[in-house]
Amino acid sequence: MSHSSLRRSYTWLAPIYNLFLRGATNASRRHSLAHIPADAGWKVLLPGVGTGLDCPWLPPGNRYIGLDLTRAMLQQIRCPQLGCIEGDSQQLPFADGSFDAVVLHLILAVSPRPEACLQEAVRVLKPGGILLIFDKFLPAGRPAPVRRWLSPLTAQLATRMDVELDALLQTCNNLDLQSNEAALLGGWFRRIRLRKVIT
């Protein structure tokens, strides 16, 4: 999966993306974003913001920046409280420790290198800051042969199906796992909250 293939796929998907994802993911997005306090003056980054489906659930009184690889997705956003920029979640254009919270909703499985996406999110997070994840992950120790077999094909179109959470988290040694909850499809989709360890 390359950046060019991702852009092509999501440029095509942009006009219809909300029709398929809004209803199915609204509750999970709302529950995840409830961990961001209102009126806290936080600076919050949303890499892979897509069409802005998180916008209705962003608590007021904070500063939000959304980043996405695909201009066509960003052009669907109608959210005055969200500043949007085009960019790569695997190479964020921000300094270390710039954000109080980072929100990774349905981006890790889309990224060609999910470990780089996670590591960049952690890099720009302040010590003590929170990382909110909502995505699909293979259960640890489960073979899931059909998902693994399909993943190379689905990765070329839109998303991977073979990302393992435990292996991914092992690439960052400064995260404290605070919650990991089933979200959708029998727990294939998870809501995860982590905190960057203060060293």
Per domain, the residue ranges of the chain are 3-196
The CATH number assigned to the domain with range 3-196 reads 3.40.50.150
Condensed to tens digits (0 to 9), the pLDDT of residues 163-191 reads: 788 888 999 989 999 999 988 766 678 99
Alpha-carbon distance of 29 to 176, in angstroms, equals: 21
Q: Give me the pLDDT at residue 4, please.
A: 67
Q: Give me the pLDDT at residue 17, please.
A: 76
Confidence of residue 155 (pLDDT cuts 50, 70, 90): very low
Alpha-carbon distance of 116 to 50, in angstroms, equals: 18
Condensed to tens digits (0 to 9), the pLDDT of residues 53-74 reads: 999 999 999 999 999 999 999 9
Q: Give me the pLDDT at residue 146, please.
A: 46
Taking CA atoms, 15 is separated from 44, 87, 111, 138, 180, in Å, by: 26, 20, 20, 29, 32
Q: Does residue 54 sit in helix, strand or coil?
A: coil
What percentage of the chain reaches a pLDDT higher than 70?
81
Q: Give me the pLDDT at residue 23, please.
A: 85
Taking CA atoms, 28 is separated from 3, 9, 41, 104, in Å, by: 27, 24, 24, 12
Confidence of residue 10 (pLDDT cuts 50, 70, 90): low
Give the residue, 22 or 125, on which the prediction is more confident.
Answer: 125
Q: Give me the pLDDT at residue 3, please.
A: 59
Residue in the block written with tokens 């890499």: 47
Give the mean model confidence (pLDDT) for residues 75-81: 92
Single pTM value for the model: 0.87
Burial grade of 38 (CB within 10 A; 0-12, 13-18, 19 or more): exposed
pLDDT greater than 50 at residue 108:
yes
Residues belonging to the chain: 199
pLDDT greater than 60 at residue 99:
yes
Alpha helical stretches, state H, the chain: 3-33, 71-74, 114-124, 145-157, 165-169
